Amino acid sequence: MHAVIMAGGRGTRFWPRSREKKPKHLLDIVSDRTIIQETVDRIRELIKPKNILIVTGRKHARELMKQLPEIPVKNIIIEPVGRNTAACIGLAALHIQKKMKDDIMVVLPSDHAIGNPDKYRSVIATAARAAESEDALVTIGIQPTGPHTGFGYLEGGKAVGSIGGDEVLRVKSIREKPDLALARKFVKSGRFYWNSGMFVWKASTILREIEQYLPDLYSGLMTIKDSLGTDSEAKTVSRVYLRQKSISIDYGVMEKSKNVFVIPADFGWSDVGSWDALWDISDKDKKKNARTGSGMVLFEDTEGSLVYSPGKLVALVGMKDVIVVETKDALLVCKRGQSQDVKKIVDALEALGQTQLL
Amino acid sequence: MHAVIMAGGRGTRFWPRSREKKPKHLLDIVSDRTIIQETVDRIRELIKPKNILIVTGRKHARELMKQLPEIPVKNIIIEPVGRNTAACIGLAALHIQKKMKDDIMVVLPSDHAIGNPDKYRSVIATAARAAESEDALVTIGIQPTGPHTGFGYLEGGKAVGSIGGDEVLRVKSIREKPDLALARKFVKSGRFYWNSGMFVWKASTILREIEQYLPDLYSGLMTIKDSLGTDSEAKTVSRVYLRQKSISIDYGVMEKSKNVFVIPADFGWSDVGSWDALWDISDKDKKKNARTGSGMVLFEDTEGSLVYSPGKLVALVGMKDVIVVETKDALLVCKRGQSQDVKKIVDALEALGQTQLL
């Protein structure tokens, strides 16, 4: 079995901690380890480091290697430019097929958090068995805890069977991020799951599906395939990538394929998509306050708040539901529930030409 | 005419900017100049620097001299310990009498802000004339803008006369900080003024009143008087001060004296008593946000807030009525309206032994 960790994100939503040079997955936001270190730690009990591939951009490769010394350097696959998940997954599938004729590939985002890793690994093992025996695209569907409008949804259909206590369902439909009314319907129906962005399939299966639904990408991948391991590899990958459209595997393949399964799962998953999401999964005191970083924090008449301080004393007085993030050159104070608007600050800094703060 | 600037305050309410080593009056909180520099700048158009005395504690004397090079070093009067305003004023009166037989002394807090300095100087000139001709204790009463419970109040009585457009009234009563109901009555009556803590009188007048109402202090002062300019001065002042009770001139003398006048005035006075008070007097944008310090500040969906940043970018998202004060080793985020509770943080730091943050 191979794991493919997709590490291409910018993570502007964790500004001011996340920066262009250090996107979210390279930060120790959830624990003392960085999120990608946690991701590798979690999967390596199932898949050896020599079988873990990481796809990333050139500017983050060095930091990745530093953070993950156990991953062989040749397993770090560089994309010349980001072209969303379809190209990324296709490229990784080629690398797996070059190593061995075919294998199961477990596709994992680099920047999610999992509360129950044992359960997580057992679901992935189940998914691998289903992907192998059914030659299918297997997705992990998260039992929704509310009508979240920031996720895609998977509609579960007929049960195919049950492996090790986990049900395997056919996917009836895949839905893009819904509005609140629709999300509520989804959750109420009991048949919909959050699309976790974790996929399990054979390299040959996904390449076959790409051939069918994304023929342009497929032909580009075949050009790359011939160049792999040759002197012209980097140049060929660049040439092919620059011509590709940016398209997600969900939109490009999964929504069209007749061959998608889902395993409903509940293992404390979070996409850690914003400071709000981080507060959700953080340990909190009686007044629902959370603190991270090594700095001293004093809460006076304050509740529902999250403070990150790497060193200095942070004192909150009379605050309710606020996120405070202190860094060397920037400080964010944000109402909890509005952390998606942190992106507006990043946009403003970009417009102002304050590139050193991005 | 002499000015006596009382510079003994701790100013814990401006933590984390104000510290034991740098109380409020030594900080550039209101403008680019420090508050005591502003105080001297304001009065020196009326009273020459050689006639401005400053009473302060030993640990702030050096910084004071640095900030006020125009004030002769011998005009910096050191108190060995703080004993509130009665002792401070008595000591300053002795120094004035030593320089010249008698003179008008204008007693000024070091840490207030004045919006209209021309009007301020004209009121002081009026007060000086009243103090001279009536041999009285003349106070400056501020026209209240609301039922503030943090100030003492002066009840105006019979008009004594009018000098240069300013009315001079006898003071009927002096009231300590009232509760809200009483403060409302005071304001509604139209007869009450905030006690600004600015006083004008002859040195001989206040010493005579101290003799009458605070005989212990007076006898201490007489001991000091004999030692002024001798080798034993510092030792004598210390010995006398250590024996004195801490008592304010308001409580010790003014409340008892039959000889108190008030000049009602309106010159944009603020005691700058808290971060809230600073927001009140700050220039604000359309959304009532104020910023100080040289750091860049971005407000996104934010109103009614005050940010001090000496250098780093501060971004506020979705905040309402919040005070953010960034310093090298401490950060304060406080709900506007609750800045009096900043003292609780200072108390907590004291209890935790975090003396470097005090």
Q: Please state, in angstroms and rounded to a whole number, the distance separating the CA atoms of residues B106 and B127.
A: 9
- Quick: pLDDT tens for B210-262: 999 999 999 999 999 999 999 999 999 999 999 999 999 999 999 999 999 99
A24, pLDDT greater than 90? yes
Kindly state the percentage of chain B with pLDDT values over 90.
96
Residue A332 touches chain B, beta carbons under 8 Å: yes
Task: Quote the pLDDT of residue B284.
Answer: 97
Q: Which residues on A lie below 8 Å from B357 (Cβ)?
A: 313
pLDDT value at B134 more than 80: yes
Do residues A143 and A193 touch, judged by C-beta distance below 8 A?
yes
Res. A163 pLDDT band, cuts 50 70 90: confident
Domain end, chosen from B238, B270, B302, is at B270
Taking the Cβ of residue B354 and every Cβ of chain A, the question of whether any pair is shorter than 8 Å is answered with yes
**Which chain B residue has its CA at the smallest distance from A305's CA?**
B333
Q: Which of B237, B270, B303 is the last residue of a domain?
A: B270
- Whether residue A38 has pLDDT greater than 80: yes
Which residues of chain B are within 8 Å of residue A337 when distances are taken between CB atoms? 318
Verify that B226 and B87 share a domain, yes or no: yes
Q: Are residues A291 and A175 in the same domain?
A: no
pTM listed for this prediction: 0.90
- Helix or strand holding residue A134 (H, E): helix A117-134
Co-location of B182 and B147 in the same domain: yes
Q: Do A317 and B348 touch (CB under 8 A)?
A: no
Overall number of domains in chain A = 2
Determine, for residues B337 and A326 on separate chains, whether the beta-carbon distance falls below 8 Å.
no
pLDDT of B99 > 90? The answer is yes
Whether residue B146 is found in the same domain as residue B11 = yes
Q: Is the pLDDT of residue A77 over 90?
A: yes
- The DSSP string of B136-194 is -EEEEEE--SS--SSS-EEEEEEEEEEETTEEEEEEEEEEPSP-HHHHHHHHHHT-EEE
Question: Does one domain contain both A242 and A116?
Answer: yes
pLDDT at B275: 96
Q: Clarify whether residues A168 and A291 are in a common domain.
A: no
Which residue among A216, A237, A270 closes a domain? A270
Same domain (yes/no): A141, A101: yes
Torsion on CA atoms A32, A33, A36, A37, rounded to nearest 10: -170
Chain A contact present for B338, CB below 8 A: yes
Query: Percentage of chain B with pLDDT > 70?
Result: 100
Same domain, A221 and A254: yes
The CATH code of the domain that includes B248 is 3.90.550.10
Q: Give the chain B residue nearest A307 (alpha carbons).
A: B333
Q: What tens digit of pLDDT does each residue of A280-307 get?
A: 999 999 999 999 999 999 999 999 999 9
- Do A139 and A242 lie in one domain? The reply is yes
Same domain? For B302 and B219 the reply is: no
- Domain identity same for B183 and B321: no
Domain that holds residue B74: 2-270
Nearest CB to B317: which of A309, A316, A341?
A: A341
Q: Do A300 and B328 touch (CB under 8 A)?
A: no
Q: What is the pLDDT of residues A136-150, one digit of tens each?
A: 999 999 999 999 999
Q: What is the largest CA-CA distance in chain A?
A: 65
Asked if A55 and A6 count as a contact pair (C-beta separation under 8 A), the reply is yes
pLDDT band at residue A213 using 50, 70 and 90 as cut-offs: very high
Q: Are residues B211 and B332 in the same domain?
A: no
